[in-house]
Amino acid sequence: MLTNFPTSVTIKEVGPRDGLQNEQAFISTENKISWINQLSLTGLKYIEITSFVNPKWIPALADAVEVAKGIERIPGVTYTALVPNRKGLEQALEANVDEVAVFMSASETHNQKNINKSIENTFPLLKEVVEDSLKAGKSSRGYVSTVFGCPYEGIVDIEKVIRVSETLFEMGIGELSLGDTIGAANPKQVQDVLEALLRRFPANKLALHFHDTRGTALANILVSLDMGITTFDASLGGLGGCPYAPGASGNVATDDLLYMLNSMGITTGLNQEKLMSASRFIQDKVGKPLPSRSLQVCGLNG
Ligand code: HMG
Ligand code: MG
């Protein structure tokens, strides 16, 4: 029986990045800025606002610099963005983000498809980005994708996850987010993977990033909570997916995660009403119903 729950949890909102990167409809810069400004007033302490990647690869976030420069910064909120290389870092520093998030995969094929190079050739690029970010006074976060399964290679050997994780920590990242890129994880697998990783890294340096493709994200979070993890990435409305992971759908919905944690008496510091209002705003802008169950219930209740 799971009983070892924490009293508080940090939710990191990745909707403006992971959520919007895969949307067909281009959300205008003005609407992105308005949405992020609303998110800043919900009690969130961490918002991933965009990606400084090649706009040919991710057209939905082609306005990264304008978005980062246009938002209102609330003291106490960390505004972060994905950065794959030196060119991205230059833009991120110009736009003055607070934190730089580097990303790569545990599986070779997904890494190649997502960032166009081998795992081995990715390490020196990310090392440079992490070191220069830290020198510029920014904190640094790392993502490892395909931890629980790769769309091209299937199950990924835990030793590969450990190697990428260790290398990212050696570069100087402050936190590692473990990505279930295609939403394939199940609670037993999460236990096994976390057992292996927690033998090497402290729980407070790890975050979990579950996509909810098959509806297992909340169950996976429950198991992670029981194992001492207190930081989770989520996307408002359940928006999103990885364009280079066929079949991947959105992250666990921030609104549903908040509902579960609130009802368990676990505090997050988030204001549910303001969050739901921001969720309805982005649903309206993407022009289709979002997967969040809380949003559907809200819609029914008016
Ligand atoms: P590349 O083509 O190998 O790059 O792409 P390159 O260095 O050879 O340069 C080629 C061209 O790209 C040049 O332009 C560069 O200037 C340009 P050209 O001379 O041809 O006009 N370029 C850039 N432009 C803007 N910003 C940059 C940049 N870098 C090069 N930073 C690259 C390599 C990494 C850039 C490319 O593969 C890319 O942009 N990939 C982005 C992939 C991506 O964003 N995927 C989704 C995010 S990851 C994710 O969702 C998973 C996660 O959520 C966790 C999980 O769920 O598991 C984090
Ligand atoms: Mg993701």
Over range 198-221, report the average pLDDT.
Answer: 98
Does position 191 have pLDDT exceeding 70, yes or no? yes
Q: How confident is the model at residue 302 (pLDDT cuts 50, 70, 90)?
A: very low
pLDDT more than 90, % of the chain: 91
Angstrom CA distances, 210 to 71, 120, 241, 244, 289, stand at 27, 25, 11, 16, 20
Q: What is the pLDDT of residue 219?
A: 98
DSSP 104-147: EESSHHHHHHHHSS-HHHHHHHHHHHHHHHHHTT-EEEEEEE-T
**CB of residue 268 inside a 6 A radius of ligand 1:** no
Residue type, 290: L
3-class state of residue 221 by DSSP: helix
Q: How confident is the model at residue 299 (pLDDT cuts 50, 70, 90)?
A: low
3-state helix, strand, coil in the chain (%, to 5): 45, 15, 35
Beta strands in the chain (DSSP E): 10-13, 46-51, 78-82, 99-105, 139-145, 175-180, 206-210, 231-234
Angstrom distance (rounded) from CA 38 to CA 269: 15
Q: Which of 33-42, 103-112, 218-227, 280-289 has the lowest mean pLDDT?
A: 280-289
Does position 95 have pLDDT exceeding 90, yes or no? yes
CATH architecture of 10-300: Alpha-Beta Barrel (3.20)
**CB of residue 21 inside a 6 A radius of ligand 1:** yes
Distance 291 CA to ligand 1 centre (A): 28
Sorted by where each begins, the domain ranges of the chain are 10-300
**CB of residue 151 inside a 6 A radius of ligand 1:** no
Distance 54 CA to ligand 1 centre (A): 4
